Amino acid sequence: MSYVPSRNPMKDQVAIVGVGVAPYSRENTLRSMGALAIDACIRAAQDAGVSRQDIDGISAQSVTAQYLQPALGIPELSWWFNSWLPFSNQLDAAIRAVATGGCEVCLVSHSQLFGPGRSRAAASDPFRVRHSVGTADVRAFLGAGHVQAEPHSVFGAAGYAAWAGKYLHDFGARREHFGYVAINARSQAARNDNAVMRKPLTMDEYLTGRMIREPLCMYDMDIPTDGADAFIVTTAERARDMAQPAVLVHAVSSGQAGTSSEEHTLDFDHTSQVVTARNLWARSDLTLSDLDVYCLYDGFTIITLNWLENMGFCGRGEAGPFLEANWDTEESRVRFRGHARLNPHGGNLSEGHTDGAGHTREAVLQLQGRAGARQIPDAAGALVAIGGLFSTKLGAFVLRRPD
């Protein structure tokens, strides 16, 4: 493509202020997805110091704006939107709605309830089993049938494994390179009370971990969890009167490649990540080295290696050696330029499957100076990149502290 969209009229005009979490858990929470979403929304509003009467926009997903508005007693909405997994599109939409006057104070909601097929604890909850009744399968939307489902096609998780194999093949990479992403996540999660996997992981443990979808083992895949996040998004001006420091949205990008399915992605140079990253930097005055916090999606380790390459940390196929070169052996985690960190909260791999809401929350808390034991000193800018490699939503955000 010759044209790269670089206009950015909403630069630094919109802020994220409040965050709220319904803590992520691997156990059966015995709660509904709606209850988790409501908890996170109320905490986000209280965190920002806004009342239900102040909120006039909702950007949500499977627990919809139509569910949340009456449940939270919000008298009127002037704008709403419902998106799909993972988290990113509803944040992108909320930022644009606030920037263009669609609403003033927008609640952005994300919630997660893991399916009955993903653990014994989940399967033992009859209400969780009932929850999936009548829910359209993702493949059904694509019009697919029995020859397109795992184990007969590379749909979903099998697709990430197949492309991880291609990555090893194309670039002479080693499984150790995936391992750095998994080990970094565990070491970071040890500093996060909200993380579900906090036991340190060694490279030996990684390399001998139970193989699931070769070449990806159990440590390459995220942890199924229940939980929810919510955010208050408002104008930079209005944010100044709220209870927490404003985090400004500097640049936003949600790109998609021409063919982005697991089967038909052309190669690593033609993924939606490539488009998303290129357009983000075209709109941003800040560059990679201006930032201190890097929250890059890690539903599978192979995703993070691609984000590192596509965001410009290193060249194509070089993410493994790049992590190796920036590895802090003593702390078993990545360190850039002495202080900057990758997924300081532990990511999907160790905090839990937050679908990118956790990555966003961590960036906001770091820039507000509220990240506790894992606070990066004087963090002023953050990169958040959400989404995988294929036909899911991808979004990337440059966030910054006000001057």
Q: Which residues bind another protein (CB under 8 A)?
A: 117, 139-140, 142-155, 158, 161-166, 169, 210-216, 263-264
CB nearer to another protein: give 131 or 166.
Answer: 166
Of 60, 100, 57, the residue nearest 76 (C-alpha): 57
- Provide, rounded to whole angstroms, the least separation between the CB of residue 221 and another protein: 12
- Provide, rounded to whole angstroms, the least separation between the CB of residue 154 and another protein: 5
CB atoms within 10 A of CB 138: 14
CB nearer to another protein: give 136 or 373.
Answer: 136
Q: How far apart are CA 385 and CA 52, in angstroms?
A: 30
Q: What does the H/E/C string look like for 70-127? A: HHHCCCCCCEEEECCCCCCHHHHHHHHHHHCCCCCEEEEEEEECCCCCCCHHHHCCHH
- Provide, rounded to whole angstroms, the least separation between the CB of residue 206 and another protein: 16
Q: How far apart are CA 329 and CA 128, in angstroms?
A: 42
3-state DSSP assignment of residue 298: coil
- Provide, rounded to whole angstroms, the least separation between the CB of residue 117 and another protein: 8
- Provide, rounded to whole angstroms, the least separation between the CB of residue 83 and another protein: 22
CB nearer to another protein: give 220 or 226.
Answer: 220
CB nearer to another protein: give 206 or 231.
Answer: 206
Contact by Cβ (8 Å): 12, 250: yes
Contact by Cβ (8 Å): 98, 14: yes
- Provide, rounded to whole angstroms, the least separation between the CB of residue 265 and another protein: 9
CB nearer to another protein: give 171 or 322.
Answer: 171
CB nearer to another protein: give 42 or 138.
Answer: 138
